Amino acid sequence: METDPEPHLTKAIPPVSAETLKIAALFAQGKPGQVWTDESLSEHIGRDVTTECAHSVRSAVRRVLNEHNIVVHRVRKKGWKMAKPGEVIEGESSVPDGVYRKVKRSLRRLSSVDYKTLPELEKREHDKTATLLGVLGLVASNKGQATVAKKIEDSKAKLDPAKTLELFTSKK
């Protein structure tokens, strides 16, 4: 008697909702600076985007970023807006400060561990994590940001990541 082969598990890719596709198509046709109110989006898809269908708007925002390289962001009490290039730059320029704060908090928590009592394997993991966080903190600090900004201003171009790291390791 033959046995049935074992069922194979396949990776399930969740289907994209019709609402998400409609909203993404609308966003993709927009112009920088254009604002879509919650009411207009709700009317466009026939469901309330502030409650029952909010996930579809967030999915559409991710979809237009991934597929069309378009940034759409939330405008409080208005709706959704396609960002202009300056708005994207302004919004993302605060990321290093957030990274620096996160690194400092993580290093504080890491320093609470009694290093001497750790097994050898955990000591190496602690060292690796502390080193990586230290490098991130060095680059994301105000002084690090100023160093990178000065070099970019001098060269008038974006720096290669390896060259950027050299700014922090070279002796002056």
CA 44, CA 49: separation in Å to the nearest integer?
A: 10
13 band by pLDDT with thresholds 50, 70 and 90 = low
Half-sphere exposure of 163 (CA within 13 A, CB side): 8
pTM of the model: 0.69
CA 17, CA 37: separation in Å to the nearest integer?
A: 20
pLDDT tens, position by position, 17-45: 889 999 999 999 999 999 999 999 999 99
Token pair listed for 169: 């390791």
Buried b (16+ CB within 10 A) or exposed e, 122-156: eeeeeeeebeebeebbbbbbeebeebbeeeeeeee
Tokens 């001098």, located at residue: 154
Show me where the domains of the chain are located: 18-90, 94-169
The contacts of residue 44 (CB under 8 Å, 6+ apart) are 22, 23, 26
Q: CA gyration radius for the chain?
A: 24
DSSP-derived letter for residue 160 is P
| CB-CB contact of 89 with 49 (8 Å) | no
> 18-90 belongs to which CATH class?
mainly alpha
CA 72, CA 65: separation in Å to the nearest integer?
A: 8
| Residues above pLDDT 70, as percent of the chain | 91
